[in-house]
Amino acid sequence: MSKTSVIKKPSYDIFISYRRHDTKYHTKPIFDALEKAFGKGHVFLDIKSILPGEKFREKILDALHESNVLIALIEKEWVATQDQDGQLRLFSADDFVRLEIETALSREIPIIPVLFDQVPMPKKEDLPDALKPFTDYHAIEISSTRIGYDIKRLTDAISIHLDKDDEHTEQEPEEKQIITKIKDQLFGSYARLLVSLVIMAMIIIATLYIMTPSAHQDYLTKGNQYLNTGYYQKAAEQFKAIITHDPTHQGANIGLKKIVIHQMIMDSKSTDIIEKEIQMLKEKNPDDPHIDLFRAELFASTDQAQAISLYQQVIQNHPHLAEAYFALGVIYQKKKDSQNALLMYQKALDVAPLNIRYLTNKGDLLFRSQQYDECVTTFQNILKLDQHVLLTYCDLIHALRMKGNMKKAPTIQKACKALMQSEMNRDLLKKLVLFQARQIYDAHVAYRQHIRTFWNDVSCKNK
């Protein structure tokens, strides 16, 4: 007769509330860190804590009534997530995120909203009445660029809440209380000094971690990668993150200088001044590929033959530089050399396959070249990367029409027409079509239903 093993029921202290599609890249690192800090079986995460065959809702409620702290992971779609009928899920009584927050509010346990990458705290007016008190809780921000450090701050905050809970729940006998009081009087000063020293040491260690050369190198590498693919604003953010801690960092300052030169070229500043800046930078950094790229960029609008020669030289010396292929493709397209332009766009995408700028130019040129099959595929690939690039939907309509696929085009056209006929003013509508859909959605509550309807009608699953 086999013995039946008894599985010890976990005793949860911490409940993690999240939306799977919204925080999928951050949830596991946080769960792993909290489980490491507080012990296995003390942190509840549905996909880790509920076994196949168990009742999902029942297990959620059991864990909620057992836990002493709830953390709510919030990214940009936390409020805007919709159900299959296009309704906001937070306004549905069946939404598990709503159930979790409501239950924690009713139990009056500590709730820590965790905001990722500068996502703002939800506003009261965007939440159902039952969740409005949620906005009164103080949040903690976590950045992808310093996630380890920020998770440590989260862990420390949870520890404080759990310690407070232990103080309220433990009832000591009178004799034990007297002994404890005597010990506190004898050793209180020593304990406070020790705690202070430990906290100071932790601050010093955390500061050293942020300021380490390896952390600087990570920022520098990412910044240069963004330069390679033409994302200058994102590159600037990486370089500025270094300079915040080390204003004299040579690599970061050079990176920002290169972005300034690029902006001078875009603003059509004096060619002589730009040439001088490029030459000074070249003398200090003779092997820097971006400096050669800027020199070619300087001639792109005035001497195309010279620019082509310079770009080809850059590509020969630095074949990993996607922006050089792309810029050369733009010149070929201006010269109406579609074959070479498409070749360069594809080479840029071979290096950076998820770059929307490169895909957009390729799709536009494929349309102009009447290569509609590949054009449709390219536009659909853009929408898989970012469904909010509304201009691509308009391009896709035309491509589908020219391809002869009239079953898909009318659905998209109908959504475009409905949006155009909405009460949204012309300036906002123009911005919406020019790649600023997310900003409009976040800033103007009155237009959200129009935009959500549009996105639903033209989402990739309808194509």
Specify whether the backbone of 404 is left (phi greater than 0), alpha (psi in -120 to 50) or beta: left
Q: Which domain holds residue 94?
A: 14-167
C-alpha distances in angstroms, 285 versus 217, 218, 250, 282, 298?
Answer: 17, 20, 11, 5, 18
For residues 268 and 270, give the distance between their C-alpha atoms in angstroms, rounded to a whole number. Answer: 7
Domain assignment of residue 374, yes or no: no
Domain assignment of residue 303, yes or no: no
Which of 167, 195, 214 is where one domain is finished? 167
Domain assignment of residue 97, yes or no: yes
Quote the tokens at residue 412: 């998209």
pLDDT in single tens digits along all 463 residues of the chain: 444 444 455 678 999 999 877 665 678 889 989 999 998 889 999 988 888 888 889 999 999 999 999 999 998 889 888 877 778 889 888 889 999 999 999 999 999 999 988 889 999 998 998 899 999 999 999 887 677 888 888 998 999 888 765 544 444 445 545 555 555 554 555 556 676 777 777 665 555 445 455 667 788 888 888 887 777 888 888 888 888 878 888 888 888 888 888 888 777 767 788 888 888 888 888 888 888 888 888 887 778 898 899 889 989 988 888 888 999 999 998 889 999 999 999 999 998 887 878 888 888 888 778 787 787 788 777 766 665 554 455 555 555 555 555 444 445 555 555 555 555 555 555 444 444 445 545 555 665 666 566 555 544 333 3
Do the beta carbons of residue 394 and residue 432 sit within 8 Å? no
How many domains is the chain built from? Answer: 2
Domain assignment of residue 179, yes or no: no
Domain assignment of residue 138, yes or no: yes
Domain assignment of residue 227, yes or no: no
Domain assignment of residue 308, yes or no: no
Which of 167, 186, 212 is where one domain is finished? 167
Do the beta carbons of residue 382 and residue 392 sit within 8 Å? yes
Which of 149, 167, 185 is where one domain is finished? 167
116 contacts: CB under 8 Å, gap ≥ 6: 23, 26, 73, 74, 75, 141, 142, 143, 144
Cα four-point dihedral sign 299, 300, 304, 305:
positive
We report the CATH number of the domain holding residue 87 as 3.40.50.10140
Q: What is the CA radius of gyration of the chain?
A: 28
Determine the distance from the C-alpha atom of residue 27 to the mean position of all C-alpha atoms in its chain, rounded to a whole number: 13
Q: Name the strands in the sheet holding 140-142, side by side, starting at the edge strand that comes first in the sequence.
A: 43-44, 14-17, 69-74, 111-116, 140-142
Domain assignment of residue 345, yes or no: no
